[in-house]
Amino acid sequence: MILSDFAKALGQLDDRAFRRVLFLGLGLTVALLVGLYAGYLWLVDSFADGPLTLPFVGEVTWIGSLLSWGGLGVFLLMSVFLMIPVASAITSFFLEDVADAVEAKHYPALMPAPKVPFLEAAQDTVVFFFVLIGANLAALVAYVFLPFLALPIFYALNGFLLGREYFTIAALRREGRAGAKAMRQRHLPQIWIAGVLMAIPLTIPIMNLIIPILGAATFTHLYHRLARTPG
């Protein structure tokens, strides 16, 4: 059933309203990653005594490395680790637009959902962003002592956190905060699995650039499917 939700999201790529949000999300995702990479290079330049030489990359300089093929390689590598927090940040900007496009096509009988106040949504996103970072830093201990379980722990942890956030934001529009929490607790296994299935492609370079928006659409379908589930 979760895969059918994702298939519906993919099937909407020919929708003009959906493509507009997808391209906006893609542009912001790339901008965030480039900004993070540029900040990383700035720190390297600030603390290194002269240009730093890295294997397979060469000299790390502010503009040259940013535009070089070596810099592109580092950028793609960094995207593997940075896309999960970036995907979290993308939700606050685009999930409502994605949900509106999804509902207009697949659930046209619904009344328009009330808008979540921007400051409230931004506050939730900032809080969750730091929870995500803190949880992953704490998990480093488990990675050190249980290296053979590092990958399953990483996907299970981030799948739980991403599923929790994406579903909450999707449900909040129509259920309110208390209703969204109750639904999340009632359907936690499905939401967790959906989050893991989202976390996995987020660690695949290039593909991970479009997953935040497709994930938002998938969780919108997931919410509507679970809302029709008795009990």
Secondary structure of 15-72 in the HEC alphabet?
CHHHHHHHHHHHHHHHHHHHHHHHHHHHHHHHHCCCCEEECCCEEECCCHHHHCHHHH
Percent of the chain exceeding pLDDT 70 equals 81
Task: Tell me if 155 is assigned to some domain.
Answer: yes
In a domain, 140, yes or no: yes
**Pairwise pLDDT comparison (222 vs 77), residue with the higher score:** 222
The mean pLDDT of the chain is 81
Asked, for residue 59, whether it belongs to a domain, the answer is no
Residue 44 pLDDT? 59
Copy the structure tokens of residue 163: 């599923």
Domain with 112 in it: 2-14+82-227
User: Taking a C-beta distance cutoff of 8 angstroms, is the pair 170, 95 a contact?
Assistant: yes
Q: Is the pLDDT of residue 31 over 60?
A: yes
CB 184 within 8 A of CB 168: yes
Residue 26 lies in a domain: no
Q: How many domains does the chain have?
A: 1
Asked if the structure places residue 24 within a domain, the reply is no
Q: Which residue has the higher pLDDT, 165 or 92?
A: 165
Across 23-52, b (16+ Cβ under 10 Å) vs e yields eebeebbeebbeeebbebbeebeeeeeeeb
Between residues 159 and 94, which one has the greater pLDDT? 159
Asked whether residue 102 is domain-assigned, the answer is yes
Region 137-154: what's the mean pLDDT? 87
What pLDDT band is residue 54 in, cutting at 50, 70 and 90? low
Closest CA to 203 of 33, 92, 82: 82
Please check whether residue 30 lies inside any domain of the structure.
no
pTM of structure: 0.79
Count Cα atoms within 13 angstroms, Cβ side, for 206.
2
- The answer to whether residue 197 scores a pLDDT higher than 60 is yes
In a domain, 19, yes or no: no
